[in-house]
Amino acid sequence: MAFGPLARGGTTPHAGSVTRTTGLPDPGRPDGRPARGRRLPRIHRAWWVAAVAFVALVGAAGFRATPSVFIDPLHEEFGWSHSTISSAVSVNVLLYGLTSPFSAALMERYGIRRIVSGALLLIAAGSGLTVFMDATWQLLLCWGFLVGLGTGSMALAFAATVSGSWFVERRGLVSGILTAGSAAGQLVFLPLVALLVEGPGWRAASLTVAFAALAVVPLVLWVLRDRPEDCGLRPYGAGPGYVSPPPAPPGAARRTLRALRDAARTRVFWLLAGTFAVCGASTNGLVGVHFVPAAHDHGMPVPAAATLLAVIGVFDLVGTVASGWFTDRFDPRRLLAVYYALRGISLLFLPMLFAQSVQPSMLFFIIFYGLDWVATVPPTIALCRAHFGGNGAIVFGWVLASHQIGASVVAFLAGLVRDTFGSYDVAWIGSGALCATAALMALVIRKDGPGGAAGPGAGAAAGAAGGAGKKPAPDVR
């Protein structure tokens, strides 16, 4: 019987188990296929889980897309400076990063559904409560703490956890698709939020994002499952020799800190953390927060600037999915070097491209930069898996924390630059120089991880080793 490529994996071959499709005892087969007369679903459930995870990431990204169009309205209504408003964004971004590694361990211990549902509720609460604020401490509480904790619990470590638990093959591709969920959230919400800000006002925009986050919760509870074994399945692409990893032991916080301690002894970790800090500084912290007000400084209407930022999200969908495909086939270190170098070049030219209306040169920047927005994520996840084995998702959470620290620092500094010099030019040029440094750092990452090569197919190779119950020792070189 032939099965399509999306149906790979089959039922878990445990004697005496009950099949999901018939309810009859299944004695198990060495090849992992069901007994004669029992049919696998034509689409493996892993792809449905990935689809819902994508939608959840879109919902979580909704509020993260709004600060860039809220800065000027809040400044005009309350008189708060750009640096004060940017400080609330900095707290949000910092908590987003620091929460991520703990959320990865908590998802492994308590399940994806519980953590993701709670995170979406926090985002909805933080977004909805902003309509009542009239002081900066309330801005810090809602934008900074509530939304920061919620989005951090649904950070890109969530993408690493889903792709690592449900997939053996196509991990790089799935990581790219899920990473693109954040860009899709920006694409879906930013033009709408900008129109609402220009019309009914920023409070209507906040409530829209809150309702959108709440709407995803029922879908998460209905479809998401924590592991393929919960459905009587193996991960997509797992062969007959696959051994299910044991459930995560108690002490998620202790395990998270232990993974950081072990990873911090390696040069690879610091190189990955340093490059990813530059990634956050040059995307979420700078362009994501300050592109719209910078364009507005040059006379461009806010809805037009917000639409440009959303178009970045369109091309990031293409670029990040393509990056996942490349990561399954090429050396992730060289991919990172190319991505950072091209991003730095584009940011150096940006100050010369702003105008009152959208010019062809600006459209070229939007397309070029958009393809590279978070294309760095799939190769970074692959390198974490290759060098840190079973703790790869948690270590990536810590690497993501450095991403958000970089974004947090630059979100504040760029606002300070604007208040001091009256323009963002120094911020764009400085970010371009940082990207050039990150490209050089990526090239000196050691090629071979303890679990296998970090070259083409590194993600799948590390995943196969982890699935077979092998836990590579930390790289101490």
* The pLDDT of residue 475: 43
Could you give the count of Cα atoms lying within 13 Å of 237 in the half-sphere of its Cβ?
17
**DSSP readout, 407-426?**
HHHHHHHHHHHHHHHSSSHH
Q: Closest Cα to residue 465, out of 243, 268, 266? A: 243
For the chain, the helix, strand and coil percentages under 3-state DSSP, each to the nearest 5: 70, 5, 25
Please answer whether residues 333 and 442 qualify as being in contact, where contact means their C-beta atoms are separated by less than 8 angstroms. Answer: yes
* The pLDDT of residue 19: 39
* The pLDDT of residue 236: 79
**Count of CB atoms situated within 10 Å of the CB of 351:** 17
Look at the alpha carbons of 196, 368, 427, 408 in this order and tell me if their dihedral is positive or negative. Answer: positive
The CA-CA-CA angle for residues 51, 56, 59, to 5°, reads 130
Look at the alpha carbons of 93, 95, 97, 103 in this order and tell me if their dihedral is positive or negative. Answer: negative
* The pLDDT of residue 347: 93
**Count of CB atoms situated within 10 Å of the CB of 35:** 14
pLDDT tens for the chain, 477 residues long, are 444 445 555 544 443 333 333 333 344 444 444 444 445 557 778 888 888 888 888 777 666 667 667 877 888 888 888 778 877 777 877 787 777 777 777 777 777 888 888 888 888 888 888 888 888 888 888 878 888 888 877 766 677 778 777 787 887 788 778 877 766 666 667 777 878 887 888 888 888 888 888 888 888 888 877 777 777 777 777 777 776 666 666 666 787 888 889 999 999 999 999 999 999 899 888 888 889 889 988 888 888 888 888 788 788 888 888 898 898 888 999 999 999 999 999 999 999 999 888 889 999 999 999 888 878 988 998 899 889 887 887 888 889 888 878 888 888 898 888 888 888 999 999 999 999 999 999 999 987 655 444 555 554 444 443 343 334 444 434
* The pLDDT of residue 346: 92
The CA-CA-CA angle for residues 62, 66, 67, to 5°, reads 140
* The pLDDT of residue 379: 93
Tokens of 261: 């301690």
CA 325 from centre of chain:
17
pTM for the model: 0.65
**Residue whose token pair is 């010369």:** 352
* The pLDDT of residue 244: 67
* The pLDDT of residue 237: 77
* The pLDDT of residue 1: 42
Residues linked to residue 11 through DSSP beta bridges, in sequence order: 233
* The pLDDT of residue 135: 86
Q: How far apart are CA 20 and CA 231, in angstroms?
A: 7
* The pLDDT of residue 11: 47
